[in-house]
Amino acid sequence: MSDRLKVFLVDDHGMFRAGVRAELGAHVDVVGEAATVAQAISLIAATEPDVVLLDVHMPDGGGRAVLEGIRKTYPQVRFLALSVSDAAEDVIGLIRAGARGYVTKTISPDDLVDAIRRVADGDAVFSPRLAGFVLDAFAARPDANVADPELDQLTNREREVLRLLARGYAYKEIAKELFISIKTVETHVSNVLRKLQMSNRYELSRWAADRRLL
Amino acid sequence: MPPQPPRPRLTRSRDDRLVAGVASGIAAHVGASPTLIRVAFVLLMVFNGLGALLYAVFWAVLPLAEGPPTPRRDPLRLLPFVLGGIGLIIAGSLFNSSDPGSMIAGWLIALIAIGAGIIWHQSQRASTPAASTPTTSWLSALASSRDRRMFLLRFISGAALVVAGVIGLLVVYSPGRVSIEWNDLWKAVLFALVAVAGVGLVAAPLLWRTLTALRSEREGRIREQERAELAAMVHDQVLHTLALIQRNAADASVVQRLARGQERSLRNWLYQPTGSPNEHFAAALEQAAAEIEDTYGLAVESVVVGDRPVDDRVAAVVAAAREAMVNAARHAGVRTISLYAEAEPGQLSVFVRDRGVGFDVETIEDMRHGVRGSIIGRMARHGGQAEIRSAPGEGTEVRLSVPVTVVREEASNE
């Protein structure tokens, strides 16, 4: 099978890498793994994987440093952040640095394979927790300073989709609930991701600034 | 005897103050009108400045009441009292013209008292949480670098007032009314200053070293406190859990429950601002979810957006959500439950979802009391709605919503 996805693991915990490799082995090609930022940058450049599973917290710079080292030269490589951390500033910071999704390390193997496929297709992957953070960040506060309505606000539909994601609905279930196609759900989520990355909303900037990510 | 409401402690008032809040603080303590106390202070001025003296002493001794930052004083409100005081003093001096000496002496004593008060005045910043260790003394006000300049300023101005008062007293009551020449006085003051400066020059390095030592000792103590807190956390919880996991290694469900509980408590400790479940909707809901996790040994993936203070309705929603989670844990046969809650300005919604066995909603008549009374009935009583969506094999979702009054968002964001 030549259309198997090439996946690269970046995590400083060897046990975790071994576990993920074993879980994913049947579905995708794990083409390499790295434990440090420098190692990751050189090996990703050498193997050119489709998707990189990226740990948020690592010594010398964390996932953010890997993203910055790779994204300019290899824009086709997609990143899926994988972390035990649920802190809003970690999650939002990684997404704003260019990751296309965020899942927690407790995710089930099937869901992880699903998320990798989705990211490889250019879609976004939001865990319920991330959907909650985004709803919080884009909450319609009367005092919110909206500079660019196109980027700084969510449409009602996008909000509905995020709410269902936060309630634990899968894309298929969301499509059924809202009487739209799965493709449309994916488009909405991708739009939210774009806003998340481009918007200058105060809350987002603040979250990122808390970790000196901007 | 009917129980009396507790009297407020004798403090200086923060929000109702004309000069330093002494009068309204006393008024609150004895239960009288602040204006009455103020008038009393002004009247006491006539007796050789006794009012000012008393005020200075109270100001120096009484702690500032706890509370939010002080609003600015309104100088216009002070005006009538000042005018009244000046009028009284003039009238008094007309009556007392036979003995101007004692009049002046009284005022000089008041001056000394105010000077001493300024020096000994209880520093508000000296009692910040970081410094509230038992060793806090007046020295720590000196040691904390933040308000050292303030302290110096206060010390100098207070000392100037005291010195002026003492010299004035000496001039008035000098033995046998020996007239002291101004010239001599200035010389004496000059000599005293030179002597003080000399002593200061000699003692400065020593004083400086003491201050540095004090500061570094305080920083060390704070670090030590943080370390002790972390050690206690690790020791009391994490090591304990690890020991339990080793002892129960054969029982997968127990191990999972222990790990999950420990993860949750570490996570809360690391990421979440502490909020009391009795006061905040989000905290109350998280607590309910935690109880379900512990009791039934499964995971509740909770996502809470927004927050609001707890009131009757909020408490009812939390209780209904808890019941929904209990039902899911008992009957759905799943390992995870999704809990989503959103506090919007005018509405509170909670969704409890599982992907378990589900049931036919039509047969709800036969169902347990839990659903009818604890969820649907409870929500209806509080003007809300409960909707249950389920089908055999497709899991269950309980949707709760209740309109709530709009609360102004204050500091809840930070």
**Can you tell me the distance from the alpha carbon of A120 to that of A6, in angstroms, rounded to the nearest whole number?**
9
Identify whether the C-beta of residue B121 lies closer than 8 Å to the C-beta of residue B181: no
Tell me the nearest-neighbour CA distance from B271 into chain A, angstroms: 6
Which residues are paired to A9 by β-bridges?
A33, A53
Q: Is B338 on the interface with A (CB under 8 A)?
A: yes
DSSP string, B66-104: PSSPPPPP-HHHHHHHHHHHHHHHHHHHHHGGG-HHHHH
Q: Which of A85, A87, A129 sits opposite B303 (nearest CB)?
A: A129
**Can you tell me the distance from the alpha carbon of A76 to that of A149, in angstroms, rounded to the nearest whole number?**
29
State whether A166 and B409 contact (CB < 8 Å).
no
- Is pTM, for the whole model, over 0.90? no
Q: Which run of H or of E encompasses B387?
A: strand B385-390
pLDDT, averaged across chain A: 82
Tell me the nearest-neighbour CA distance from B29 into chain A, angstroms: 41
Residue bearing tokens 């298929």: A172
State whether A128 and B340 contact (CB < 8 Å).
yes
Q: State which amino acid sits at residue B37.
A: I
* Helix-helix angle B182-233:B148-173, to 10 degrees: 150
Tell me the nearest-neighbour CA distance from B381 into chain A, angstroms: 25
Q: Is B326 on the interface with A (CB under 8 A)?
A: no
**The residue count for chain B:** 414
At A179 the pLDDT is 92
Taking only the tens place, the pLDDT of each residue in A85-142 is: 667 777 888 888 888 888 888 788 888 888 898 888 888 888 888 888 888 888 766 5
Identify whether the C-beta of residue B398 lies closer than 8 Å to the C-beta of residue B351: yes
At A64 the pLDDT is 79
In chain A, which ranges are E strands? 6-10, 29-34, 51-55, 78-83, 101-104, 125-126
Identify whether the C-beta of residue B324 lies closer than 8 Å to the C-beta of residue B400: yes
Nearest to A115 by CA among A87, A78, A164: A78
Tokens of B258: 């222990």
**The residue count for chain A:** 214
List per-block mean pLDDT (blocks of 10 residues) for chain B, which spans 414 residues: 57 74 79 79 73 77 68 68 72 61 68 72 45 44 56 78 78 62 77 87 86 89 84 79 85 84 79 70 86 85 84 86 87 86 86 85 63 80 85 85 71 40
* A206: nearest CA partner in chain B: B414
Residues 275-304 of B with CB under 8 A from A: 299, 301, 303-304
Nearest to A141 by CA among A203, A188, A196, A199: A203
Rounded to 5 degrees, φ, ψ at B176 are 65, 20
Q: Where are the alpha helices (DSSP H) in A72-155?
A: 88-97, 109-120, 128-137, 149-152
> How many residue pairs bridge chain A and chain B with CB atoms within 8 Å of each other?
42
At B101 the pLDDT is 60
At B141 the pLDDT is 46
Tokens of A165: 């994601």
**Can you tell me the distance from the alpha carbon of B335 to that of A108, in angstroms, rounded to the nearest whole number?**
12
Nearest to B319 by CA among B364, B264, B379: B379
**Can you tell me the distance from the alpha carbon of A202 to that of A148, in angstroms, rounded to the nearest whole number?**
12
Question: Going by C-beta distance under 8 Å and a sequence separation of 6 or more, which residues neighbour residue B44?
Answer: B50, B51, B54
| Cα atoms found within 13 Å of the Cα of residue A71, Cβ hemisphere only | 16
Q: How big, in percent rounded to 5, are the helix, strand and coil portions of chain A?
A: 55, 15, 35
For residue A193, with 0-12 CB atoms within 10 Å meaning exposed, 13-18 middle and 19 or more buried, which class applies?
buried
The pLDDT profile of chain A, 214 residues, written as one tens digit per residue, is 447 888 888 888 888 888 888 888 888 888 888 888 888 888 888 888 888 988 887 777 777 788 888 888 888 888 998 887 667 777 888 888 888 888 888 788 888 888 898 888 888 888 888 888 888 888 766 555 666 667 777 888 888 999 998 888 888 889 988 999 988 998 898 888 888 888 777 667 766 665 554 4
ipTM above 0.85, yes or no: no
Identify whether the C-beta of residue A161 lies closer than 8 Å to the C-beta of residue A174: yes
Rounded to 5 degrees, φ, ψ at A126 are -115, 125
Q: State which amino acid sits at residue B15.
A: D
| Cα atoms found within 13 Å of the Cα of residue A81, Cβ hemisphere only | 30
At B252 the pLDDT is 83
Rounded to 5 degrees, φ, ψ at A59 are -60, 165
State whether A167 and B301 contact (CB < 8 Å).
no
Residues of chain A found within 8 Å of residue B267, distances taken between Cβ atoms:
86
Rounded to 5 degrees, φ, ψ at A167 are -80, 5
Measure CA of the first residue to CA of the last residue in chain A; give whole Å: 42
At B123 the pLDDT is 47
Q: Is B409 on the interface with A (CB under 8 A)?
A: yes
Nearest to A12 by CA among A70, A77, A60, A69: A60
Q: How big, in percent rounded to 5, are the helix, strand and coil portions of chain B?
A: 65, 10, 25
* Helix-helix angle A182-198:A128-137, to 10 degrees: 50
Residue bearing tokens 């576990």: A19
Residues of chain A found within 8 Å of residue B353, distances taken between Cβ atoms:
167-169
Question: Going by C-beta distance under 8 Å and a sequence separation of 6 or more, which residues neighbour residue B189?
Answer: B163, B167
| Cα atoms found within 13 Å of the Cα of residue A76, Cβ hemisphere only | 6
